[in-house]
Chain A
């Protein structure tokens, strides 16, 4: 799996948008970008994933650059409960075969400030 680079920490004011960047300059054509987050002392939580197009769900939006070498996770209105470590992971899909593993880096600690 391709390696990702994320800033170690970021702050965001409550109610404002949180924009978390991720660089994945060696991503392959068949690799998706996944985002998970981990609130302190809990298991990681799936947020969103995408291949080429921008994606949006009830939790967040994912913006992937046209060359796919970087992406941004956007939490439109951050709350205190969004304080967590956010992981950006790239992985290939394995159709009809064995499962694929997630390789977690150190992520970005997002601190939402009141």
Chain B
């Protein structure tokens, strides 16, 4: 139990569906992250939010739309996805205000997404 929860844990969706992934952190952190992990590939950073502002967007297609309404919650809205978007989507959080301990990231269990 890392203090970062993600729902749902598994999701199957068609290419025309709209769905959202939710992440919640109970650690009092200021920064939150979305990562994508495809089969046999390293984790790829998608988005970074610091104090509810998006500070990084790693050339992610617009069919992925993040939202950070407050420092404890992070969403990833999905629409018109492709089968190659099937992956494990991981959320992480960190204190975010700088310093070696404050930058340590804590990960949630992930959402396993399958796009048909």
Contacts and interface: CB of A to CB of B under 8 A. Distances in A.
Interface residues of A, number: 26
A105 interface: yes
Given A41-B112, A94-B98, A96-B97, 17 more contacts: A34-B104, A42-B110, A43-B91, A43-B92, A43-B109, A43-B110, A44-B43, A91-B103, A93-B99, A96-B98, A98-B55, A99-B33, A99-B94, A101-B56, A102-B43, A102-B45, A105-B42
Contact of B105 (A32, A46, A93): A46
Interface residues of B, number: 30
A42 B104 CA distance: 18
A111 to B, nearest CB: 17
Interface string B76-106: 0000000000001011101011111001111
B42 A97 contact: no
Interface string A32-75: 10100000011111100101000000000000000000000000
B107 A45 contact: yes
21 contacts: A41-B88, A41-B110, A41-B112, A42-B109, A43-B2, A43-B92, A45-B2, A45-B107, A46-B104, A91-B103, A93-B100, A96-B97, A96-B98, A97-B98, A98-B50, A102-B43, A102-B105, A103-B45, A104-B42, A104-B43, A106-B42
A32 B90 contact: no
Interface of A: 32, 34, 41-46, 49, 51, 91, 93-107
Those 8 A-B pairs whose CB atoms lie nearest each other, nearest first? A43-B107, A104-B43, A95-B98, A99-B31, A104-B42, A96-B98, A99-B96, A44-B107
